[in-house]
Amino acid sequence: MDLDRIFTRLNPIFIAIGRTPLLHWLQSPFLILVTVTGRRTGRRYTIPVAYQVDGRRLVTLVSKARRKNWWRNYLDPAPAQLVVKGRLIDVEGVVLAPGGDDFRSYAERTFRRMPCLGPQFGVRYDRKTGLTDDQLAHLSREAAIVCFTR
């Protein structure tokens, strides 16, 4: 079983912890809760995602993006609600252009900080060489990056 499926099964637990005032600190350094409103259905749902902070931006790298739908709601800029460190904030989310400079920069930062994520994204990341053009092309096909701006 891959990590994606394991985390999907654990999502209800992560959501409960993230919403609990006394427990959110357990996951706040690495997970936020994103409440998405479906473009077509209008249905609201909440998912936990890993993130990094860049000034006023909270950035998340989506693995196996073809199998997931939530990030597609941000192909055009759209509102979202996040629970960050126990606080609810309104933001605007947008998907970065695959293969663009921002896409490469955020992917590089993510893997530099946590090279162990490479296999989850189908790349063998080396801090000395950074992302190769082939790896970037692979990530452009298989991953998505969503930026949420406060």
How high is the pLDDT of residue 50? 85
> CA 23, CA 95: separation in Å to the nearest integer?
30
Domain range enclosing 7: 3-149
Check whether 2 has a pLDDT greater than 90: no
pLDDT digits (tens, 9 = 90+) for 5-56: 656 666 666 666 666 665 555 555 678 899 988 878 888 989 888 899 999 9
What's the mean pLDDT in 58-70?
Answer: 92
Q: Are 50 and 60 in contact (CB under 8 A)?
A: yes
Three-state helix/strand/coil letters over the chain: CCHHHHHHHHHHHHHHHHHCCCCHHHCCCCEEEEEEECCCCCCEEEEEEECEEECCEEEEEECCHHHCCHHHHHCCCEEEEEEECCEEEEEEEEECCCCCHHHHHHHHHHHHHCHHHHHHHCCCCCCCCCCCHHHHHHHHHHCEEEEEEC
CATH number of the domain residue 87 falls in = 2.30.110.10
Place of tokens 């692979």: 138
Average pLDDT of the chain, as a whole number: 86
Question: What's the structural domain count of the chain?
Answer: 1
